[in-house]
Amino acid sequence: MNDETPDPAFDESLIGRYVEAVSARRTRSGVILPPAGRSTRPRLAQDTGQVVPLDPDWTIGDHPSLLRGRSGEVLSTARRYGGRPTYRYGDLPAQHLATRTTLRTEHRRRPRPGQLIIAWYRLYRDWAPLYAIADAAPLPALPEKRAAAWSASRTCSRCGEQRARPLPLSPDPDPERYCTPCRQTTAQERWIEASRAAQADMAAWARDVLADPRTVLAASEDNHIDWISPGYRVETVDGQVLLDTHVRTTTDDRAATYRPDVRNQLEGSVYVGDLLETIRQISARRIVTWYGGELDRLPQGLWKLVGDDFPRTHTAPEDRLSERYRLWTGESPNVRYEWWYPAPKLPWTWTGTGEHERGYKTAQTAKARVHWMREYLTRMAEHDPPEPTARSGSVQTR
């Protein structure tokens, strides 16, 4: 059968399908295209790049890579639009079919006048026509400067590989273009470099904290009576204890009116009004805590005695030891290193392994927690930091 011989057995519904054509000698994979020129025989655009006439003796079947529904039907042929197959992300034979935009940006081509729509591509609630790349007309050649810019926008700055689509441009201070593997590798290298710089800053901060005579280390206890009389411990860097007691906001007379079980819970606690001068001394210090809010409730109730001028015992954001220590240990702040902004940050939440801070996390008393805080500060100031660890497989794009 020659190319001009009509093929009465040809089914128009085959156009646009991604198939396997099996003959006696070999199996060909490709997309079925409509006849071209004076020929009445459909064509097969093979994965190898060749376009050959479709032999009616070949056995045609759907390509095994196509997406299938729950009952096993091929989605591209079961759900048609305009009588043509429909494709979606992860299902499109992109080496054969492309939209107008893809033809222009990736292949430097455009549909010829009168070129038929081969299939449709699902775009949210709309459809984009797909054209055969083999039948599209090439665009005019670009001028020399535009051709150089077109090539540079698709070339990786690290490995030199050229891609079909423009690569994303990284922001300052490194406005380069990277392919996906190189972008991840570059970001990891930047993260480790920035993390080492952060480790040096955290070590300098720890030395400044230990050398500051105003520094106090503070911790609170977690127990079932915190809401009545939470326990606090405040020490100077050299170990002088400024406060070590449970504090309540009720006076002795008011506490005497409570039920016996509540009075037992308040036993040994101190009324906050009796600690006014001590709290004022602490508020004038540089308060270092683990999370930052351990002493926020300490002056609670003092406003009834001294008004709005009661002493505050807040921890400055830069003196939260947990955030500084986690950066010094080199663990990723939130398990991720970011592709475009890989600098270590001070996170509000953290999901690291916690191996470096197990001592504080397992401490049950405020005294033990202050001990571990002093231990961590000394470790940061006098020892070399661990090697930064960027978690493999945890990446973030922008």
Q: What is the SS3 assignment for 324-374? A: HHHHHHCECCCCCEECCCCCCCCCCCCCCCCHHHHHHHHCCCHHHHHHHHH
Count of CB atoms situated within 10 Å of the CB of 365: 15
Maximum Cα–Cα distance across the chain: 111
Question: Per the structure block, which two tokens stand in for 357?
Answer: 């801070």
Number of domains making up the chain = 2
Q: Evaluate if pTM is beyond 0.75.
A: no
Domain end, chosen from 40, 62, 84, is at 62
Please indicate, yes or no, if residue 377 is contained in any of the structural domains. Answer: yes
- Tell whether 4 is covered by a domain: no
Answer whether residue 163 is part of any domain: no
CATH code at position 33:
2.30.30.520
In this structure, which long-range contacts are made by residues 369-372, counting pairs with CB atoms below 8 Å and at least 24 apart in sequence?
Answer: 369/219, 369/233, 369/290, 370/217, 370/218, 370/219, 370/233, 370/234, 370/235
Q: In this structure, are 340 and 208 located in the same domain?
A: yes
Residue 95: inside a domain = no
Q: Which residues contact 375 (CB under 8 A, 6 or more apart)?
A: 359
85 located within any domain: no
Does residue 164 fall inside a structural domain? no
Kindly state whether residues 224 and 360 are assigned to the same domain.
yes
Residues 241 and 373 in one domain: yes
Residue 157 lies in a domain: no
Sequential pLDDT tens for the chain (398 residues): 444 444 545 577 888 999 999 998 899 999 999 888 777 889 999 988 899 998 888 999 999 988 888 888 888 888 888 889 999 888 889 889 999 999 998 899 999 999 999 999 988 888 999 999 999 999 999 999 999 999 999 999 999 999 888 888 876 567 788 888 888 788 778 778 878 888 999 999 999 999 999 999 999 886 444 456 788 999 999 999 999 988 887 777 776 777 776 666 677 788 888 888 999 999 999 999 998 888 888 887 787 777 777 888 889 999 999 889 988 887 654 434 444 444 444 333 344 456 778 888 888 889 999 999 999 999 999 998 888 766 544 333 33
For residue 152, is it within any domain?
Answer: no
Task: Residue 188: give the domain boundaries.
Answer: 183-398
